[in-house]
Structure 1
């Protein structure tokens, strides 16, 4: 039972048996081997990375033909890479972004949010942070040099989508909130998936591998860096609302050392959407490091797959574009494989498959491809606090609390209490609301330009705005506060034209079978957020990871390993 006005740990906190260390991480010899390979590659400026392998392995993976290719290096792709490597399958991972493991001239790998530079954005002339203004002044975003930065904002007609660019994908740029969805909602969204198996096996496995941990509540209660969250919590409680502590992949033990001055600051230095230099267990430090540590996985960066086609033998050939730091194409090559795993995200996987279907390269793909897209009900809003209720000039960039009103009969909302680490007192309480918006969009290719097009109208976010407003209206009434109208470049209180959590485009059990196999073509799989139709009710990466663990386990057992034995 949940009591209004109390903070409780959210149910996704992993049990003690899965968190042998404070970080929740199970570091293995493979992690260290893989991490060493990544560091060595970064130091040498390499774009093809692998750990030491036996002569037999090198021979089996020679040239540009592999038993398996994984496109992308985000959550689902990283699961596929690790489990393929563990099964002894020589695997190539192709990532369009760069490896973020080498310090720039300032001694840092990533830049912070207050002083962004070219490392921040993917080939843009100006940063595009979610908050466009403060007091209606254009002081948030900065002009920058074009560069393959870590964060991209992809613009469609009435919606833009944030995605991570680099080895580790979205894990490099998200807030790390590692939340497992309410079981009832999961069963509603993915009715064909055995929830008992997911909650008993695959969610725990994903949390353990990701290194999920929870903040010490005494530290949270004392830290100057979480005054903003405690204030928003108390104001929610004044309105009769419940709050929950939310686990994270940021190492909270490290954060405590940051505050004591015993470790270099990252979360406490305004780092998150453009990457964290310390403390965060992104995929390059967990799944991908372990994958490279198998000695069976090769990673190539700055490679974008342009075309997929299937040969007469049933194998796949990929046309791959290699770019440099200026965005110039330096080479085009072909890579072939027997098993192809697509983990380029809701946008990338869907675009590749639509192009292959519509050009006739993979004509058997489902007509339902491109459907089921949604922004996970994302809505952002800010409230203005009274002068006697400061939020603090010091703010951790890692969120740890949310208002949990998911059981509301008409307007379910899971609202993250978000930081605004501006280095000054802003008096703003900021929220990223996740709502149960039933509206869905669809992808297609523009027949004139061949570019990906999203059919999504701004008005489709009206149910999400209504839900977020219903919750925050109650907070405002209880605390006699108002909305901020100066944060999104105009006079809106609610930002409804961008999302952090793109989902769908290749819905599980519709465009695929129940395990991500693409209909119409053998040995072709989607393993990422494109499988989840539009909404999961919380930050989605734990669900993406766990679903990939489930699907890849079945595919390995039924498709890949038997094929290797019969070769």
Structure 2
């Protein structure tokens, strides 16, 4: 941390020009672009810092894999639960890039023309150069360069569903190079870190110990630190309070601390909220309620999106010896079941079987809870040995294929705070548009088609699988978005088209919380492009008193 009181602006003294809260895709872009423009930037990250060798070898190393700091687990995988959705998110310096699946699609036209923001700009055209920059910075390979059994199975499933023409290999952010071979930085003329070629170990989402995955620590954050940004890990922001003369007091404490919280406060001229949708919404809700940021729009929490997502899959009763299902990067292919529904294969590497505990017998999602439970019990009793074998976690990652299903459907949740056991916690209710789905029939169809192909090609019995949360009407999402969305006015959203928070000059939301619609694809590239665009409007430090373009 830098010495306090060294940055003067007018009559006030600030410890930092900009505090960035969070180091994921929005926060890392903000850190690099602002330090390049001459700002003193401090980044707070609740999670720990990882070198390649620090990641868990498999998902069973829960202390390095799961995030539960009060229990001594400082890993990269967060899990949150709301009444209407269970959320998988990231933790650590680099945010979601540490445990995401490297998949960097650009969304289609429905995303850019959503009425929440379509009148504010020609977003497709305006974001185009920023998508190009994001792809270059994240090292996107436009087409996964390998083919194997999983890719063949996905292509066959698409054909069986009558949508073979939509099948494609995914764009991924991975340094392939020569497998296992270390080489000097191939992306930034030697300014970035050395890299190692991908070994196709499949453990991208547990943390890349090889050094092939293009996490934010390999690009934006590495460059930002080299150019002067300071990153403080294991610091959880507990308050952002506006100061009477302008600027903000940002209070942090040691993540997961029970007693020695080491509470500290710094003063910053401007603050960028980029703590991920869950973290950013938590802060906005709490600061509005406490009066620390009293003019936050009443629209906070509205238009919270789940990417209209489901996680189903296919599993065999034993490892198909003719199929290496766990070999490759996490996501390699996709197809469209219909014009609104996108399906991707997902894998974990050998040994990483923990997340298989979320899988269950598939039940009809449109039925009542009683009928769903009855179906689950009935299917088990009809073939108990088969269901036990399908549900076993033994070599789970080598026996199946996860189906990640996303949609561009206009559905949403509205989040708010409620008091439970004396604590304020976030809760949800159905919001604008269609009801947020508790299941997706298209996901069930895709999983069944994939399972049929696994059985046909592997020569062993296989079946479609759902998830335990889905049995109880709670879908899973890895892409939690919105709740502080771009808008034309504070009546309809939380930030303006430049990502500035209505009513609080100097406060910005630059992460997934600002995304106004379901992209129907993995959103990381879009969050990066939106952040690049937002930062492009900031002047150099000292110009126009260091403020972005005037709020209208």
Shared fold, TM over 0.5: yes
Q: What are the ranges of 5 or more consecutive residues in structure 1 without an aligned counterpart?
A: 1-47, 126-144
Q: C-alpha deviations, 1:514-567, integer Å up to 9, x for none?
A: 11111111111100100113511100000001011111212x13997311499x
Structure with greater strand percent: 2
Q: Secondary structure at the match of 2:267?
A: strand
Give the Cα separation in 2 of the matches to 1:560 and 1:289: 25
Change (3 A) 1:194 1:238: same
1:249 and 2:173 matched = yes
Aligned mate of 1:282, from 215, 218, 224: 215
Report what 1:152 is aligned to. Answer: 78
Q: Secondary structure at the match of 1:365?
A: coil
Task: Check whether the contact 1:113–1:273 (CA below 8 A) recurs between aligned residues.
Answer: no
Seen in structure 2, the aligned counterparts of structure 1 residues 243 and 443 have a Cα distance that, compared at 3 Å, is same
3-state secondary structure, aligned to 2:311: strand
- Paired with 1:523 and 1:80, the residues of 2 have a C-alpha distance of 14
CA distance in 1, matches of 2:251, 2:417: 19
Q: Which runs of 5+ in 2 are unaligned?
A: 183-194, 352-394, 488-492
Structure 1 position 342 matched with structure 2 position 342? no
CA distance in 1, matches of 2:197, 2:406: 29
TM alignment of 1:146-185, pairs within 5 A? 146-185=72-111
- C-alpha distance in 2, partners of 1:472/1:150? 27
Change (3 A) 1:334 1:230: same
**SS at the partner of 1:155?**
strand
Match of 2:475 in 1: 497
2:37·2:540 contact (CA, 8 Å) conserved in 1? no
- Aligned equivalents of 2:61, 2:175: Cα separation in 1: 24
Equivalent position to 1:209, from 115, 128, 137: 137
What value does the CA root-mean-square deviation take over the aligned residues?
3.6
SS in 1 for 2:437: helix
C-alpha deviation, 1:200, in angstroms = 3.0
Query: Quick check: 1:90 aligned with 2:90?
Result: no
User: CA offset at residue 500 of structure 1?
Assistant: 0.5
Change (3 A) 1:89 1:559: closer
The answer to whether the Cα contact below 8 Å between 1:61 and 1:90 also exists between their aligned partners in 2 is: no
Partner SS state of residue 304, structure 2: coil
Q: In the alignment, is residue 240 of structure 1 matched against residue 162 of structure 2? A: yes
- Aligned residue in 2 for 1:317: 249
Q: Is the 8 Å Cα contact of residues 154 and 450 (structure 2) preserved in structure 1? A: no
Q: Which residue pairs with 1:231 in the alignment?
A: 153
- Is residue 418 of structure 2 the alignment partner of residue 446 of structure 1? yes
Find the aligned partners of 1:85 and 1:337 in 2 and give their Cα distance: 14
- Whether the 8 Å CA contact 1:162–1:500 is kept in 2: the answer is yes
- What is the 5 A alignment of 1:15-34? none
TM-score by length of 1: 0.74
Match of 1:563 in 2: 545
Pick the aligned partner of 2:234 from 302, 323, 341: 302
Distance 1:489 1:275, change over 3 A: same
Q: Distance in 1 between matches of 2:453 and 2:233?
A: 51
Distance 1:474 1:517, change over 3 A: same
TM-score of the superposed pair, with normalisation by structure 2: 0.76
1:552 has 2:535 as partner: yes
